[in-house]
Amino acid sequence: MKNFRRRIPLPLLLFFSSQLMGCIAKRIITPILPIYVRDFGFSIAELGIISAGFGVGLMIFEPLWGILADKVRPKKIFTVSLSFSPLIMFSYTLVGDLATFTALMFFSGVWECAFGVSSRMLAREAISKGGRAFGAWFTIFSAAELIGPVLGGYTAITSYNLTFYVGTVIALIAFFLSFGASTSESTHLASKQDRPKGLDKEEKTTLIITSSLIILPWFLIFVYRTFLPVFAKEELLLNPLEIGLIFAVISVVGIFASMLFGGLSDRVGRKKIIVLGMLLQAFSFLLLPISSSTMLLVLTAIILGVGIAAINPAMMALLTEKIPISKQGLALGVYGSGEDVGIWIGPLIVGYIYQNYGAEVSFYITAGLMFFNLILSILLLKNTNTN
């Protein structure tokens, strides 16, 4: 027990616990929100618009939160972001039209990116090796993606509002835990005096490449999150708990694979892991249209989970190892905006395709875009030192 405490100080343990609870509160609605919205009579295209509101909030504010995180302690932003989560979660019980749903998703995105930027910075400060740092961050994220959807699907069997109430309570717990959370922030502050201002040519190139290549992976992830529940319920007649369990499979895979691929990218280089992840993501969407049973959906979820776990830690490690610590808030904010572009345009584009041409065409087009991104990664990362 003493060795455990020496290895993981209490403030750091509280940080990861707060991150876990905060992510659970956000992910508890993953399996139910699309079908909850559909129950109000909205079309698939309107569902895409509502989901895109989340991406717009992320895209606009993520660089701003990153810049602010370079000027103040990331811990402050982390705590403030968690203070708004209970209010947003409870508000889902009060809305019912397209405008208010979209506005709520927009504000959810605003505070989600504050949480994302600050928690990534805190994880990077806590663990010296980038692959392991973001592997740990993504493992916590994946654990929440396991617990949240299962809990959300289970409570939704009673009522959707119960899911939102439980999410509100969990968000409050995360907020209170954040007061005791801390990492080695002295490194962050001291580095501001030691590092030059601005980014050099190599650093800017790395930021542009990583922020561009991460767009389509998150395009794919949010297409899955937005339309898989609809596809599973309306085509395969699954209930919310069964849908939640499919999302949980992705998370179980992510828990084990994130640390594995994060550490592996520290040893064999980032590019190989990133390209592998993109290949697996594309392949998972090729299988979706022919997934006529729950078992086939589970198989696609496993493949997708491995792909996500391979790409995200390696890409973030590639970025932060090239960027001075004093500018990593800005860098992670810009990088996050790349994710957000995918989150924004994915539901909009695929929602239109899904409504007019069906699920099969929309999933194949998404897979094709991912294969295109894979080729870009091979070309753009070719001369980049990723090891």
Mean pLDDT of 65-75: 81
CA–CA–CA angle 31, 32, 35 (5° rounding): 115
**What's the pLDDT at 385?**
45
pLDDT of amino acid 386: 44
Between these two residues, 172 and 55, which has the higher pLDDT value?
Answer: 172
CB pairs under 8 A, 24+ apart, for 36-43? 36/92, 36/156, 36/160, 37/101, 38/230, 39/160, 40/96, 40/97, 40/101, 42/98, 42/101, 43/355
Task: Enumerate domains of the chain plus CATH numbers.
Answer: 11-182+200-380 (1.20.1250.20)
Q: Is residue 5's pLDDT more than 70?
A: no
The pLDDT score that the predictor gives to residue 194 is: 46
**What Å distances lie between residue 5 and 8, 13, 44, 127, CA to CA?**
5, 9, 50, 16
Report residue 124's pLDDT band, with 50, 70 and 90 as the boundaries: confident
For position 196, what pLDDT does the model report? Answer: 45
pLDDT at 187: 44
Burial class (CB in 10 A: 0-12, 13-18, 19+), 259: buried
The pLDDT of residue 197: 59
Out of 64-68, 151-155, 186-190, give the one with best mean pLDDT: 151-155
Q: How far is it, in rounded angstroms, from Cα 362 to Cα 51?
A: 16
> Do the Cβ atoms of 70 and 334 come closer than 8 Å?
no
CA distance 279 to 301: 14
pLDDT, tens digit (0-9, with 9 covering 90-100), for 159-211: 999 999 999 999 999 999 988 766 554 444 444 444 445 667 777 888 899 99
* 154, 290 Cβ separation under 8 angstroms: no
Greater confidence, 353 or 150?
A: 353
Question: What pLDDT is recorded for position 184?
Answer: 53
317-335 per-position pLDDT tens digit: 888 787 777 777 778 778 8
pLDDT exceeds 80 at position 6: no
pLDDT digit string, tens, across residues 17-46: 899 999 999 889 988 888 899 889 999 889
pLDDT score recorded for residue 190: 41
Helix pair 328-357, 359-380: axis angle to 10 deg? 150
Measuring CA to CA, which residue among 261, 266, 346 is closest to residue 312? 261
Q: For residues 364 and 260, which has the higher predicted lDDT (pLDDT)?
A: 364
pTM: 0.73
